[in-house]
Amino acid sequence: MFEGDRGRRRAVALALIVALAFFFFVLQMVVEAQAFDSPVLPPVEDPEPAPAGTELVDVLLWMAFSGGSGVIAYWFIDRFRRDEWSAEFTRYVAFGVTALLAAVGFGLLVIMGYEPAPTDARAWVERLFSTCFVAVLMAQVIHARRDLAKREAA
């Protein structure tokens, strides 16, 4: 069904881009409101280092910077994949979901004050690109080690 349907692929890609753009717009508004001592949002204090463990900051760091978004994306795709999805389409969905989860993790780290906020639009683009790129790369490494190794062994 999706094998030759470029329009549907473009629609999915456009929807992911719009969702990311909206998320980053809201994130930038929150950061600016915190920077100007907004009465709506309290100022973010420099957090003290959290002890190692299974705290939210550890989960967000894993999700944003350590390949966790790829693990979550592949779990999501394994559960909700449709039979009519081609392997190529599934791969693109995995890229988009992985990048979106990594960006959300990074955004939550910034909002919660665990990660310093980029100073301008260019810095946001650079940080988000590097975060999403590493997440997609790590997801591909995990996929190759886990799924493709099973296929070769069978």
* pLDDT tens by residue, 23-55: 766 766 666 665 555 555 555 565 565 555 557
Q: Which positions ≥6 away from 47 have C-beta within 8 Å?
A: 112, 113, 114
> How many domains does the structure of the chain reveal?
1
Asked whether residue 38 is domain-assigned, the answer is yes
Q: Is residue 26 part of a domain?
A: yes
| Interval 83-118: pLDDT, tens | 888 888 888 888 899 999 999 999 998 888 888 888
Count CB-CB contacts under 10 A for residue 132. 22
Cβ contacts of 53 within 8 Å, gap of 6 or more: none
Q: What residue numbers bound the domain in which 120 lies?
A: 6-44+52-153
Asked if the model's pLDDT at residue 1 lies above 50, the reply is no
| 22 occurs within a structural domain | yes
Look up the pTM and report it.
0.64
Does any domain span residue 107? yes
Distance CA 20, CA 78 (A): 23
1 domain-assigned: no
